[in-house]
Amino acid sequence: MANVLTVEHLTKKFAGLTAVNDLSFTMKERTIHSLIGPNGSGKSTTINMCTGSLPITSGTVKYRDEIISGRVLHEVASRNIGRTFQNLKLFGSMTVEENLMVGMQAQMKDGILKFLVSPASAKAEEKRANERAMEVLDYIGMYKYRNETVANLAYGQQKLTELGRSIMTAPKLLFLDEPAAGLNPSERVEFVKILLKVFDDGIDLFLIEHNMDVVMNISNYITVINFGSKIAEGTPKEIQNNDEVIAAYLGSQFKKK
């Protein structure tokens, strides 16, 4: 299988702090690849650099055969790469449906220009976005909530709304930053089912997640970082039995014979 993501010597320095330190790894096509590690170890910073949300200090990120590091957010997004954020970035006072439609428009960089030049084609685009929103809402089981104001929804439904927004443009690779954080056990089971459906339908998943039941059950491959540096990589079984990972992050409760 081809590499969908190739990260080489990726480094991010904030004033006085190296958040990501010379990180290299590859992600294969048709896998769920997880990035785990303690709080503050550089996971979100890694995703932010891969998706063009944050400039890199040094190193490269390749999506399939193309170097995407150095490109900005909408350029990365237009290469069929989507993401969710660790902290919900939904518009609380807008409806579920509107939040999904915004997700599509955010990736149409010439949206406003198009509207000025040709209001008719902008209208047609809005209609398409609306149809796509209905399709996605049905897909994630949120159709009945489409007209609810997001702030009034349960947290689990808000997380689903964000997932829905991230798949509006039908990405091929999706970065998920703690998508199941804060969900109760039954919401989590429901969420994982939908994630697996998304994966089965052809979207490769790069996942940051602290819930080890989720990580160990659905990942094909795991990269572990600590203080910005890679300390291990392998299958869930290999990671659960890696002494350095157990010492730095997992504890021994996940050790499997």
Provide the binding-site residues for ligand ATP, judged by CB under 6 A.
14, 17, 19, 37, 39-45, 86
Which partner in ligand ATP, Mg ion, none is near 69 (CB below 5 to 8 A by kind)? none
Which partner in Mg ion, ligand ATP, none is near 40 (CB below 5 to 8 A by kind)? ligand ATP
Identity at 24, one-letter amino acid code: S
Nearer to ligand ATP, 11 or 149 (CB): 11
CB 23 within 8 A of CB 59: yes
Which partner in ligand ATP, Mg ion, none is near 45 (CB below 5 to 8 A by kind)? ligand ATP
C-alpha R_g of the chain: 19
Q: Which residues contact 17 (CB under 8 A, 6 or more apart)?
A: none
Question: Min. distance of Cβ 208 from ligand ATP in angstroms?
Answer: 7
Question: Which pair of structure tokens corresponds to residue 200?
Answer: 């089965």
HSE toward the beta carbon, residue 43, CA cutoff 13 A: 26
Nearer to Mg ion, 44 or 219 (CB): 44
Classify strands 173-177 and 81-83 as parallel, antiparallel or unpaired: parallel
Q: Which residues contact 146 (CB under 8 A, 6 or more apart)?
A: 95, 96, 97, 133, 134, 137
Nearer to ligand ATP, 166 or 169 (CB): 166
Q: Angle, to 10 degrees, between the axis of helix 185-200 and the axis of helix 155-166?
A: 10
Question: Min. distance of Cβ 86 from ligand ATP in angstroms?
Answer: 6
List residues binding Mg ion (CB under 5 A). Answer: 43-44, 86
Nearer to ligand ATP, 5 or 23 (CB): 23
Nearer to ligand ATP, 129 or 214 (CB): 214
Question: Min. distance of Cβ 229 from ligand ATP in angstroms?
Answer: 12
Query: What is the rounded distance in angstroms from the CA atom of residue 245 to the CA atom of residue 232?
Result: 7
Which partner in Mg ion, ligand ATP, none is near 19 (CB below 5 to 8 A by kind)? ligand ATP
Query: What is the rounded distance in angstroms from the CA atom of residue 193 to the CA atom of residue 2?
Result: 26
Question: Min. distance of Cβ 10 from ligand ATP in angstroms?
Answer: 12
Question: Min. distance of Cβ 86 from Mg ion in angstroms?
Answer: 5
Question: Which pair of structure tokens corresponds to residue 79?
Answer: 């290469």
Query: What is the rounded distance in angstroms from the CA atom of residue 127 to the CA atom of residue 119?
Result: 12
Question: Min. distance of Cβ 42 from ligand ATP in angstroms?
Answer: 4
Nearer to ligand ATP, 55 or 202 (CB): 55
CB 156 within 8 A of CB 88: no
